[in-house]
């Protein structure tokens, strides 16, 4: 990775540290979401395991979705201001600028992830994963975060205003609901089950949960990684094309 991308990652992290929305999304929201799911809904949902153990992967993905809104908005704000022109006149390309936003987004999400894990442990989360399982789970989570962040960067380039960028990202935040993230899919109406079990979030949730619980998950992890790689690749290509169009 280029030195420029690193410098710009530092920039994006500083900007999000001072952005109250981004801070709330990265710190307060994960805590609230976990508590709401475990204590408000958890009692009524029967998943066969401790609900906190069941729901942690879902909360992690939900946080990643909300975090993507901040990423999209940050990209839109850059385009709206004059700073992109200055960067371009310094021969700094779209790749470095967007990589900066994506890596900062990843850092924010990892902060959220650590919080969720710490709090979950405190309230009874007892995963049975081996070291290798933890490693694999983290790898898949990072792959998902990167994919969603690149998607958000592309959305930020499409949107004409930060508000529109935020609106778009709502869709991504919503995606974990119709999936095995919060309730077993067999409790859903049958027309929804097909979607809930095969949409991109489903294999990510299933493999995260399986890896954390130390269960065998077959090839699901590969399906999850393939989805992440696919989403990331398409988003990067779209973002690159949009960047040169939006900045001419």
| 241 in contact with another protein (CB under 8 A) | no
- # chain residues binding another protein, by CB under 8 A: 27
Among the listed residues 10, 139, 184, 230, the single contact to another protein using CB under 8 A: 10
Which range binds another protein by CB under 8 A, 74-82, 142-150, 203-211, 235-243? Answer: 74-82
Closest distance to another protein from the beta carbon of 158 (Å): 13
| 92 in contact with another protein (CB under 8 A) | yes
Residue with tokens 């933890």: 134
| 24 in contact with another protein (CB under 8 A) | no
| 15 in contact with another protein (CB under 8 A) | yes
| 126 in contact with another protein (CB under 8 A) | no
| 160 in contact with another protein (CB under 8 A) | yes
For residues 89 and 216, which CB has a smaller minimum distance to another protein in the complex? 89
| 14 in contact with another protein (CB under 8 A) | yes
**Contact residues for another protein (CB under 8 A)?**
3-4, 7-8, 10-11, 14-15, 18-19, 79-83, 85-92, 160, 246-248
């Amino acid at each position: 990775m280029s030195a420029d991308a690193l410098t710009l990652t530092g920039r994006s992290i500083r900007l999000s540290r001072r952005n109250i929305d981004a801070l709330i999304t990265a710190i307060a929201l994960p805590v609230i979401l976990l508590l709401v799911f475990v204590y408000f809904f958890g009692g009524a949902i029967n998943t066969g395991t401790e609900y906190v153990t069941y729901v942690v992967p879902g909360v992690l993905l939900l946080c990643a979705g909300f975090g993507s809104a901040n990423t999209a908005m940050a990209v839109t704000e850059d385009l709206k201001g004059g700073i992109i022109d200055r960067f371009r006149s310094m021969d700094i390309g779209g790749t470095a600028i967007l990589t900066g936003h994506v890596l900062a987004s990843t850092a924010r999400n990892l902060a959220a992830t650590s919080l969720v894990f710490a709090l979950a442990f405190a309230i009874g989360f007892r995963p049975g994963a081996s070291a290798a399982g933890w490693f694999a789970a983290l790898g898949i989570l990072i792959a998902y975060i990167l994919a969603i962040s690149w998607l958000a960067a592309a959305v930020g380039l499409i949107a004409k205003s930060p508000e529109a960028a935020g609106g778009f990202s709502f869709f991504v935040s919503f995606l974990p609901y119709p999936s095995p993230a919060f309730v077993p899919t067999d409790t859903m109406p049958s027309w929804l089950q097909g979607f809930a079990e095969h949409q991109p979030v489903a294999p990510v949730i299933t493999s995260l949960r399986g890896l954390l619980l130390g269960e065998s998950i077959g090839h699901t992890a590969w399906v999850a990684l393939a989805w992440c790689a696919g989403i990331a690749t398409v988003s990067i290509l779209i973002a690159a094309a949009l960047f040169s169009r939006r900045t001419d």
